A = this chain, B = another copy of it.
Amino acid sequence: MPELRKDPVIGRWVIISTERDKRPDQFSGQASDPAEKPCPFCPGNESETPPEIYAVRKGGSARNTPGWDLRVVPSIAPFLRIEGDLDRKGKGIYDLMNGVGAHEIVIETNRHTANMADLSQEEIVNVVNCYIDRINDLENDERFKYVMVFKNYGWSAGGGRVRHARSQLIATPVNPKRVKEELVGARQYYDYHERCIFCDLIKQEIKTKDRVIMDLDGFIAISPFAARFPFEVWIIPKKHSCDFVNLEPDSRKYFAQILKAVLSKIKKGLNDPAYNYVLHTAPFRRKKMGYWKSIDHDYHWHMEIIPRLTRVAGFEWGTGFYICPVPPEDCARFLREVQV
């Protein structure tokens, strides 16, 4: 059973993934961009994944057979296990609990295509619908506090040796540190100003224009003012909403549209780099949690996209202090001008 362990000084939870059982010598020498493996995610190979949890099947084909447009399966090497109790406990000064959670893989298309930029808008709408359905379903499990939705595209972004477009969902029994920090920061701003900080940020960005990459059908894509990475992009809905799952059907279509456009600009303008994206949305059961009760007012969901163009050095890890070698204004101008 994997363990969730808390750093006693700064309170960060870490998954200690005992199940993966890597031996030290497996780390020696780091292959870059190794050869592609046969694809277990293509139609016809359904038996190579665990049984599906969810699928989009227009023709009514049987589960775990071809005929699907999108499939969700449990990870074959899950970081967290779905079975069991949390069993929170202390060991002297340390806190830990069982690594209980869900780890699901969203196979985004039935075509053997790697980059989400190359999916059709309709396929990306399927992905958005799937995220919403899966998050809503996972909220029913009382053990979970949050679902992290993210994508690792390309080897240097943590992508695997199979190049078939997919993203991941991890449901956790704790709120991730970075999410908590955002909630706290947004709360502090709201307490003082009685306005959502993201709504204010959107207004200022639209007015100054120099960090806006796209402003289209209810969404803006910007290079953030204090970007950590060159060509970091945030996609934010212009209408206030703390929770991604409340996205209306029309807005899902427009979100898919801007996501495809931004990913296509990154692919074309930056020579198809590895990238990650992470969905930042409100935690589960916030109505029950005293402190987070007003999240509906003070938090604002968004997606952060990070092309992996620079190597992250030691002091970023050690200090939380980032150096961005290109001003976000230059990054925005560059991506704005890439025609897709």
Contacts and interface: CB of A to CB of B under 8 A. Distances in A.
A140 interface: no
A276 B315 contact: yes
Interface in A98-132: none
Given A93-B204, A271-B29, A324 B17 contact: yes
A208 B92 CA distance: 10
Given A14-B322, A24-B270, A276 B313 contact: yes
B276 A189 contact: no
A87 to B, nearest CB: 17
**How many chain copies does the complex carry?**
2
Interface residues of A, number: 95
A225 B22 contact: no
A224 B5 CA distance: 10
A338 B106 CA distance: 42
Interface stretch (A47-55, A154-162, A237-245, A249-257): A154-162
A36 interface: no
With a 10 A CB-CB cut-off, give which of A148, A181, A231, A306 has the most chain B CB atoms.
A181
A interface majority secondary structure: mixed
Contact of A276 (B269, B277, B318): B318
Interface in A1-42: 3, 5-18, 20, 22, 24, 27-30, 32
A186 B189 CA distance: 26
> Which residue, of A7, A17, A328, has the highest number of chain B Cβ atoms within 10 A?
A7
A302 to B, nearest CB: 10
